[in-house]
Structure 1
Amino acid sequence: MKLPSKIIDCDVHHALKSHMDLVPYLKEPWKSSVEKFGIRGGGGTYSSPIGVQRKDTYAEDGRDAAAYPELLTKQLIDTYHMDYAILTGGLYSISIHPDADYAAAIAAAYNDHLIEQWLPNNPKFKGSMTVATQDPMLAAREIDRIGPHPDIVQVVLISATHIPYGNRYYHPIYEAAERHGLPIAIHPGAEGSGTSNPPTAAGYVSNYFQWHTCLSQNFMAQLVSIVLEGVFEKFPRLKFVLVEGGVAWLPHLMWRMDKNYKALRATTPWLKRMPSAYIRDHCYLTTQPIEEPDNPKHLQQIFEMMDAENILLFSSDFPHWDFDDPFMIMKGLSEEAKHKIFYENARKLYNLA
């Protein structure tokens, strides 16, 4: 089968073998705590009834491909001839734990494990460092510590929050990320858990189906906050990547913000351009999970509305149950558009060769 393009996968979930992987990177009292009780993150309210991971990503001996670099390389990078895999991990839910010091310690240990145990194993691995947002100054300090590493290409945050990301509370994180030339990725996974807000605009839902369907609400709210609070005027070199939040909602959100800006711009005097202009210049969305209507032409129309070839990044979400095969998705695009989405946009964003 013909490859759609050269490929950079922008959402690959590497994992720990167990909580004990972090113990060598922790100091007391956190070391003893993790040894005894595991990692006490903030997630877990809503769970997939079929499990998070594809069953075929486990080797015959039971090993998890997401936890072993050589297996992940074989199952994903070699199978799909990928040029790079952006490792996004899965421990960003530590940001909704009530203990800021514990969360910061776990995030730092996770970053050290990523750098020592994963990045040296394959030059195609590029890392997303995790920070805990409970204390933005500690998070900024962690970015200064880890950000200079040549294989760290972005900072990943959880999309579940109790304060929207446009709030100036987060400015130390953005200042540090901009200082090191690192994009900020926002990833879902723990909405409605820990110290975060309810998972939907209407409140708490009763099952995973509803939770998963409504994840895009959170991304819309975060993007509105980031743009209208003037983050990109304050940090003009900062980029955001909205990971695993869907894409089809973007055109109507940009239209609504632009329409309201014409009448309500006095409430955002720091903005110098239409809201949609900031999104086009500073934001990317990953393709998985792509909304696929029955009529493929409808998706192509949405892509035209949002300038998809310049704003989308391919992602597979390996090894999760809703993994997207790069051979199967977005078949109606031109070869030039495919090359940008599958490769060139990410290459430029992450400064890859």
Structure 2
Amino acid sequence: MKTATQVIDCDIHHAFKDHRQYGAYLRRHWKGPIPGGGAGVYASPIGVHRKDAYSDAGESAAADPKLLTEFLMEPYDMAYGILTGSSYDISVHPNADFAAAVAAAYNDHLLEEWLPYNPRFKGSMTVAVQDPQLAVREIDRIAPHPDIVQLVLASAARLPYGHRYYHPIYEAAERHGLPVAIHPGSEGSGISGAPTAAGYVSNYMQWHTSLSQNFMAHLVSLVCEGVFERFPKLKFVLVEGGVAWLPHLMWRMDKNYKALRSTTPWLKKMPSRYIREHCYLTTQPIEEPDNAKHLQQIFDMIDAENILLFSSDFPHWDFDDPFMILKGISGEMKEKIMYRNAKELYSLS
């Protein structure tokens, strides 16, 4: 089968085969347990991976570039797959030096084991944000690789991402032409804050449903702190945080800016314009209202044709099949969401 348009998948979770392989990439002086990915105490009761994301021998397709090609890239005839991994959650570890070492191990594994296997694989490097100077050093080490196309950070954080604490990281990302992606997975864990604005919830369903709150807070912070004025070429990708919340956030920010602009004197445009010019969102998990026309209305409100990127979230349980998603949308809009927006953002040939 082939989709009606070419496909670039902007969220594929490749992985280490096991923690021993992870440990092999760590610097020798670091010993002890290697942190796992995922939601910390908020574990999915149905597991993280799809049941059909394993070979007959029980090997995970996410942990083997050959299997990932066979299970995902080939069946869906994907032009490119953006590998996002899961090690971005190292940024909530309390030990800054250990976190930097784990991020470097992830990046080395990505460069040595994954990107050489398939030219359609493109990589998302990560850093540990606990020490911005170490993070900048790692960006300068990894970003020049031609198949590294973005920097990915956890949406779980001690400070919202507009804070000037992070600006050295953004300066380095902009200097290397890398978009910055934010991805959920560790809210409420480590040194991050509570997973919701109201505090700690009781189970995975509440945690998973509330993930968009962090994205809203980060986006308000990025705009209001003037990140896009200070770094005019910087792009952000909000991965796996939903879509339908964006209209009301843009309306509320624009309304408040009209009365409170004295609190953000560095802004030269309406907040919604910064979002449209600098930010992208991925489709998975796409909201699916009972009335499909309502989703189309939301797409019209946010200029989805120009800011949405297709993502499958393979191999996770809520994987979105590119053959099935966005069935009510066709023509140029679908082609841009499934392929062209990502092609332009990541400068892919």
**TM-score bin, normalised by smaller chain:** over 0.9
CA distance in 1, matches of 2:273, 2:290: 31
User: What is the match of residue 349 of structure 1?
Assistant: 345
Is the CA contact (8 Å cut-off) linking 1:9 and 1:82 kept in structure 2? yes
| TM-score, normalised relative to structure 1 | 0.97
1:21 partnered with 2:17: no
User: Which residue of 2 is the match for residue 321 of structure 1?
Assistant: 317
Question: Is the Cα contact below 8 Å between 1:104 and 1:138 reproduced in 2?
Answer: yes
Q: 1:335 to 1:42 in 2, by over 3 A?
A: closer
Structure 1 residue 335 displacement after superposition: 1.1
More helix as a share of residues: 1
Aligned to 1:10: 10
Q: Does 1:119 align with 2:120?
A: no
Question: For 1:261-280, what aligned pairs fall within 5 Å after superposition?
Answer: 261-280=257-276
Q: Which residues of structure 2 form unaligned runs of 5+?
A: none
CA distance in 1, matches of 2:255, 2:5: 37
Percent of residue pairs bearing the same amino acid type:
73
Equivalent in 278, 285, 289 of residue 285 of structure 2: 289
* CA root-mean-square deviation: 1.1
Structure 1: distance between partners of 2:320 and 2:189:
26
User: How many residues are matched?
Assistant: 349
Map 1:105-116 onto structure 2 (within 5 A): 105-116=101-112
Per-residue CA deviation, residues 225-263 of structure 1 (Å, 9 max, x unaligned), is 001100000000000000000000011100000000000
Kept after mapping to 1: 8 A contact 2:2/2:76: no
Question: What's the CA shift for 1:41?
Answer: 6.8
- Residue 98 of structure 1 aligns with which residue? 94
How far does residue 19 in structure 1 lie from its aligned partner after superposition? 1.4
Partner of 1:311: 307
SS at match of 2:125: strand
Question: After superposition, what is the alpha-carbon deviation per residue over 1:189-208, rounded to whole angstroms, capped at 9, x for unaligned?
Answer: 01011100100110000000
Output one character per residue of 1:137-165: Cα deviation in whole Å (capped at 9) or x when no partner: 11011000000000000000000011000
Q: Which amino acid aligns with 2:170?
A: Y
Change (3 A) 1:105 1:41: farther
What residue number does 1:85 align with? 81
Partners of 2:36 and 2:83 in 1: CA distance = 22
2:58 paired with 1:62: yes
CA distance in 2, matches of 1:71, 1:162: 37
Question: Take 1:53 and 1:168, find their aligned partners in 2: how far apart are those partners?
Answer: 36
- Between the aligned partners of 1:109 and 1:12, the Cα distance in structure 2 is 19
Tell me by how many angstroms 1:39 deviates: 3.3
Number of the residue aligned with 1:178: 174
Q: 2: CA distance between counterparts of 1:4 and 1:309?
A: 16
Which residue, 224, 228, 234 being the options, matches 2:224? 228
Aligned to 1:258: 254
